[in-house]
Amino acid sequence: MNCHERTAIALNLGIPDRVPVFSCTEEQNQIYEILGEKDQAVALSLVQEGWTGKLFKLAAPLANSIGWFNRETEKFMSKKLEADIALGYDCSWLMYSAIFKLKGNRQATDIWGKLYDLVADPDGNVDTPMYRQGLLTTPELWEAWHHPDPDRFYKTLYRVFADLQKRYGGRIYLMGSLFSGLWESASQVMGLTAFSVTLRRNPDFVRRMVKYYETIYLATIHATADAGMPAFVYSDDMGHKIGPQTSPRVLDEFFGPSLRRITEEAHKRGIKIIIHSCGNVNQLLDLFADWGFDGVHSLEPTADIDLAAVKKQLGKRMCIFGNLDISHVLSQGTRDEVEAAVKTALQAAAQDGGFIMAMTNSHNAVKVENTRWMIEYTHRYGVYPVT
């Protein structure tokens, strides 16, 4: 079987030849290490300190006007896929995140209305910008923001996805994705405090916000399908360490209808759609299935999620992706620990198919060596029948 067949069977809750392995790696340090191109990474100190920092700060408006940062981000998407193919992944989460504008040399904003800090990875190189706060803290500010037009957004995404599908889609099963789901978009552009107050005082506005983000997501689904990609990862961190960030009732009332329309559209277009959500999402699992998602990813063990219990609860409705720990096993763990974790995950969720091995998230502390072990042991122990 090839990676496409294997992944498609697992997504359809069937039993392939072996358990597929899913890449969610987005970190520069790891991708450049895999490709032997560590010299390509850009040191944050170059961007922020000394005369180069001053130059960068002055040039930021020009860089924004020519879309430099986003073009580099799009190029990096190719590097990510080359690295995934080199490591032997079957399927890859390909997140479109060319959505930033530099704000000097220390911060960036995005097209949705969020502010980020430019931060470094452990090697001191530029890492994914880190969310700092929302800029649209009132309904008035949100209404006044120049929101992306869904039609233009479709065209940009289609261009990028079609190109990557053409160049890499034959060698790895691609799953398109977009930075920030409906919940993250709504709560983060306002900031959690302003959002929580607005949810109480002006729920109709929240519904209007969510409806707009739905139009963007529908455009994204169409771009993914038209580009020929077979699946989509809907990324939306609804959990935190001990539970959902808001009540399941609120999520279902305000976001559920839009999510149902998004998954319906994905299915009409013939693509599978997986939900990624960090944190303790135990209370949301049935909702994920009710909303129409075909698979669920992250399932962090450090957020009190039991993979076997999830498999039992959802295994007949959704493909389970997970759930190798990044806080220790894949960042500091020994070879034996990675082997044990892979075996545990396989035992918990793989035996009757509908399972795809994955680490819980992308993180710059994860070691490439440990990632290789994860893939190696999945190839070794994940051949069906898995015992």
Partner 1 sequence: MNEHEAIQGVLETVVNLDIDGVAGQVRAALTAGADPRAVLSEGLSAGMRIVGERFQSGEYFLTDLVLAGEVMKAGLVPLEPLLTRTDIQGKGTVVLATVKGDIHDIGKNLVGMMLRAAGFEVIDLGADVAPQRIVEAVRKHQVKIVALSVLLTPMVASLRAAIGEITKAGLRDQVKIIIGGACTTPRLAKEMGCDAHGADAMAAVYLCEKFF
Please give the residue ranges that form the binding site for partner 1 (CB under 8 A): 117, 119, 122, 130, 132, 187, 192-193, 195-197, 199-201, 240-247, 250, 283, 302-303, 326-328, 331, 363-365
The amino acid at 231: A
Q: Of 141 and 365, which has the nearer Cβ to partner 1?
A: 365
DSSP 159-209: HHHHHHHHHHTTTSEEEEEESS-HHHHHHHHH-HHHHHHHHHH-HHHHHHH
CB of 114 to partner 1, least distance (A): 13
Q: Of 113 and 244, which has the nearer Cβ to partner 1?
A: 244
Q: Of 202 and 351, which has the nearer Cβ to partner 1?
A: 202
CB of 130 to partner 1, least distance (A): 6
Which of 228, 220, 195 has its CA nearest to residue 210? 195
Backbone angle region of 279, left / alpha / beta, with phi > 0 → left and psi within -120 to 50 → alpha? left
Q: Of 5 and 123, which has the nearer Cβ to partner 1?
A: 123
| The residue to which tokens 């990096």 are assigned | 76
Q: Of 64 and 246, which has the nearer Cβ to partner 1?
A: 246
CB of 240 to partner 1, least distance (A): 6
CB of 124 to partner 1, least distance (A): 12
Q: Of 230 and 279, which has the nearer Cβ to partner 1?
A: 279
The beta-carbon contacts of 137-142 under 8 Å, at least 24 apart in sequence, are: 137/190, 137/191, 137/194, 138/190, 138/194, 138/198, 139/198, 139/202, 139/205, 141/113, 142/113, 142/189, 142/190, 142/205, 142/209
Q: Of 162 and 250, which has the nearer Cβ to partner 1?
A: 250
The beta-carbon contacts of 337-342 under 8 Å, at least 24 apart in sequence, are: 338/370, 338/373, 338/374, 338/377, 339/373, 339/377, 341/374, 342/373, 342/374, 342/377, 342/378, 342/381, 342/382
CB of 322 to partner 1, least distance (A): 17
300 close to 289: Cβ distance less than 8 angstroms: no
CB of 66 to partner 1, least distance (A): 29
Q: Residue 321 and residue 41: Cα distance in Å, rounded?
A: 30
How many C-beta atoms surround the C-beta of residue 25 within 10 A?
Answer: 23
Q: Of 216 and 278, which has the nearer Cβ to partner 1?
A: 278
CB of 197 to partner 1, least distance (A): 5
239 close to 277: Cβ distance less than 8 angstroms: yes
Which of 298, 343, 353 has its CA nearest to residue 323? 298
CB of 241 to partner 1, least distance (A): 5
CB of 192 to partner 1, least distance (A): 5
Q: Of 66 and 242, which has the nearer Cβ to partner 1?
A: 242
